[in-house]
Amino acid sequence: MRIKGDKRVVVNLPNLFSVATTICLAVSSMMFSSCSQSAKETKVNLNSEAKQGEIDLSRQDEGVVINGVKWATRNVDKPGTFVTNPEDVGMFYQWNRKVAWATIGDITDWDKTVLEGIEWEKANDPSPSGWRVPTSGEIKLLFDTEKITNERTTQNGVNGRKFTDKITNNSIFLPVTGYRDGNGIINITLGGIYWGSGALGKYSAYVLQFGTDFAYWSDHPRYYGYCIRPVVE
């Protein structure tokens, strides 16, 4: 109780404290609810954008440097995207074309024509943004036996080949891919073939190729369908 003039004013402190506490709790509850709703909306927006292909964290790739070249750790899937896992094959491509072909099933509209040129054109490169098809020189660096080892291996149940930098111990895994031949027919093999960007002759282009007991760079017909493992631009 406190005295004001000649009047007595009674202040009930417990009740006042109760009211203040109630107000604080209500404000805190509103703030928490607002923050929770904001976080929820952000998550929903991100998921929505991912579905639209604008943001998809599963498509990001940090890459790994081997013998001075930064390689992606995954194959190219549909144009502009990576596969989800390092063991996934992805899609097949013909040299200097941005059209993706499935790695299974029959097709009837295979293009047997051969594109001219000496390099894979940037406009036709299906690699994700910031990446490109490797040059023949970059492929050859993987076979520098003084700096790189390669071995047949199995990763998460998938057969393939691992290339490892002797100095840094960085490595990439290339899965067995199979391929589509000149008629677009699927060939299931125990090896993998990956495109390079450079042409060799009028009808062929460089590739990285491996089997169960070998690995080397070579050249193959441009209208065959192979996978792509890009390098950073």
- Taking the C-alpha atoms of residue 151 and residue 127, their distance in angstroms, rounded to an integer, is 26
Residues making up the chain, counted from first to last: 233
The single-letter code of the amino acid at 193 is I
Highest-confidence range of 3-17, 56-70, 104-118, by mean pLDDT? Answer: 104-118
Mean pLDDT on 197-201:
95
| Among the listed residues 222, 197, 226, the one whose alpha carbon sits nearest the alpha carbon of residue 115 | 222
Q: pLDDT, tens digit, for every residue of 137-177?
A: 999 999 999 999 999 999 999 999 999 999 999 999 999 99
Mean pLDDT on 205-229:
97
Residue 1 has pLDDT above 90, yes or no: no
- Taking the C-alpha atoms of residue 157 and residue 114, their distance in angstroms, rounded to an integer, is 36
- Taking the C-alpha atoms of residue 131 and residue 232, their distance in angstroms, rounded to an integer, is 4
End-to-end CA distance of the chain: 79
Residue 31 has pLDDT above 50, yes or no: no
The single-letter code of the amino acid at 208 is L
Q: If phi over 0 gives left and psi between -120 and 50 gives alpha, with beta otherwise, what is residue 122?
A: alpha
- Taking the C-alpha atoms of residue 10 and residue 77, their distance in angstroms, rounded to an integer, is 77
pLDDT given at position 212: 92
Mean pLDDT on 84-101:
98
- Taking the C-alpha atoms of residue 174 and residue 92, their distance in angstroms, rounded to an integer, is 14
pLDDT given at position 60: 79
What does the block give as tokens for 9? 């004013």
Label the pairing between strands 2-4 and 7-9: antiparallel
Model confidence at 182, pLDDT cuts 50, 70, 90, reads very high
Q: Which residue has the higher pLDDT, 82 or 14?
A: 82
Residue 191 has pLDDT above 80, yes or no: yes
Q: What does pTM read for this prediction?
A: 0.76
| Among the listed residues 135, 156, 14, the one whose alpha carbon sits nearest the alpha carbon of residue 84 | 156
Residue 101 has pLDDT above 90, yes or no: yes
To which H or E segment does residue 159 belong?
strand 158-165
pLDDT given at position 56: 52
Domain ranges of the chain: 2-51, 57-232
